Amino acid sequence: MEAMKISKRFFAFGILACIAIYVAYMKWHLDSKPLVGLSVFYGIMFDAGSTGTRIHIFKFTQQPKETPKLTHETFKALKPGLSAYADDVEKSGQGIKELLEVAKKEVPMELWKFTPLVLKATAGLRLLPGEKAQKLLDKVKEIFQASPFFVRDNCVSIMNGTDEGSLDDPQKRSVGMLDLGGGSTQITFLPHTEATLQTSPAGHTTSFQMFNSTYKLYSYSYLGLGLMSARLAILGGVEGKPCKFRSALHCCGGKRVVCTLPTGLEVPEWYVHSRHHS
């Protein structure tokens, strides 16, 4: 099961991670004197989702005059997501620091200052009021800048819905992907005809260039339709607001069972009746 989670997150973040890390590495390579004979380098990508924060540590190898090859990935996830600390920003840093320790163990010390460090936040932070989301981002950036890794001014950011969807793997043989997150759902596919892109609504398409190829994708994110957001809506809750609960009694196999429901939500009569006679 854990392997499946890692694979899914790799498809969801692998492409952007490779691009961001490679671009950051090349900028450093051009602006600084590179290590002689350097053929191995690393990149660190934080995925700040609505239900948890994950770290991906990518190891690349590169032969002279060739593009880098991804040879290994280290993955670890922590719960809850950053958005859970909207009212207690200081606590949000504990998980980030813990994941950075994983990176320190994985990346050789002599390469720390050459290893790009990036965090991309998704629907969890997009659902928060702008001021609260920014405070969380500022806290993460503060921690990143105090780390021994290579960080730039734009090392921490919130992805828009189109970018988040376009992280799904755009291979020529793929037809599309649905990504069910905690706070949003993304749909992305590589159209077979140019007409699909031309007739798509504004904001539903994106393109990016990686190495020598340009990819044009249909990609859209439905904010608020993720698993956790949908569950909250069904229970009568509102994003970003505490939910008041109360206890209710219903019958189950002749026994009285206490369940917890949001205030104002009643147990349907048909449900009580069906459980009483089951």
Cα–Cα distance between 27 and 181 in angstroms, integer?
Answer: 32
Is 226 labeled as ligand-binding? no
Is 182 labeled as ligand-binding? yes
Is 236 labeled as ligand-binding? no
Contact 13, 40 (CB under 8 A): no
Choose, from 90, 164, 239, 269, the residue flagged as catalytic.
164
User: Of the candidates 92, 84, 250, 217, which has an alpha carbon nearest to the alpha carbon of residue 156?
Assistant: 92
- What residue type is 225 in one-letter code? L
Q: In the annotation, is 164 catalytic?
A: yes
Is 37 labeled as ligand-binding? no
Contact 57, 41 (CB under 8 A): no
Is 134 labeled as ligand-binding? no
Cα–Cα distance between 175 and 120 in angstroms, integer?
Answer: 25
Provide the 8-state DSSP code for 182: S
The answer for 74, left when phi > 0, alpha when psi is -120 to 50, beta otherwise, is beta
Alpha-carbon torsion angle 100, 102, 104, 105, nearest 10: 170
Cα–Cα distance between 141 and 41 in angstroms, integer?
Answer: 22
Query: Which residue ranges are tagged as binding site?
Result: 182-186
Query: Which residue ranges are tagged as binding site for ATP?
Result: 182-186
Catalytic residue set: 164
